[in-house]
Amino acid sequence: MRFRLVVVLSMLVLMTACATTPTGRSQMVFMPDNEVDAMGLQAFTDMKNEKQMSQDTRENQFVRCITDAITHEVGGEWEVVVFEDKTLNAFALPGKKIGVHTGLIDLVDNQDQLASVIGHEIGHVLARHSNERMSQKLGAQIGISLIAAVAAPQTPMGQTALGLLGVGTQYGVLMPFSRLHESEADSIGIDLMAKAGFNPAESITLWRKMAQASQGSQPAEFLSTHPSHETRIHDLQERMPKATALMQQARAAGKKPNCVK
């Protein structure tokens, strides 16, 4: 009897946990979205309290201009913060939070290159990648307990929570998204930036610049959860005809962002 009950409950969990990403991929998610959003909010609040935020008006206007154009395509009110940090990084968290490091702003040449990164990071949120990997790694019961753990980032459980969300580099525990998640975010992101009127071809330039900036420090693809720069560029090139068509449609509809660095 107990075994049958476990089987029935397991089937119910699997049925209720089945979801579909924006690319049409089936995924298993156990965590309630509002709980994951709460974790994202807590993590973002902690970062704002602990990290220096840029007061440079030009930098903030540049980033805000780009994020406004892209988030207009997905809806909702997104909070955006530029952090004084020389690392080449940007992130988006559940709960509609976006962080951009000044080091990445320094690297890009134009609005389209930064839009490709921001579109990619928002893609992670839209595809519920944080929820999916929390579900995979921890299961619902343990995952829910991580909500409180985010508020104590120096604890082992807190570090795990931040790592699964996609932040935590300041604690040395960043858990990178899988190759599947990275590739899916690339796919969603390039379409998003194109729908907002940005030039998707600049995503290729951006990743070439990132490859050059890494100066060979990226491990071989089979040793890494991330796609190699070459694989990422190849996949983006394959999607370029569709993305270019989306950009042309957007510009014909009057979407012509003009964000000046």
Catalytic residues: 121
Distance CA 157, CA 161 (A): 6
Closest by Cα among 174, 86, 89, 172 to 130: 174
Distance CA 210, CA 109 (A): 12
Contact 2, 120 (CB under 8 A): no
Distance CA 189, CA 209 (A): 18
Task: Give all strands (DSSP E) within the chain, no chain letters.
Answer: 18-20, 26-28, 79-83, 90-93, 97-101
Structure tokens that stand for 32 in this block: 């309630």
Distance CA 82, CA 100 (A): 5
Structure tokens that stand for 157 in this block: 């459980």
Residue by residue, DSSP assigns 134-166 as HHHHHHHHHHHHHHHHTT-TTSHHHHHHHHHHT
What sign does the CA torsion over 227, 233, 237, 240 have? positive
- Degrees, nearest 5: CA angle 13-16-19: 125
Structure tokens that stand for 192 in this block: 């998003």
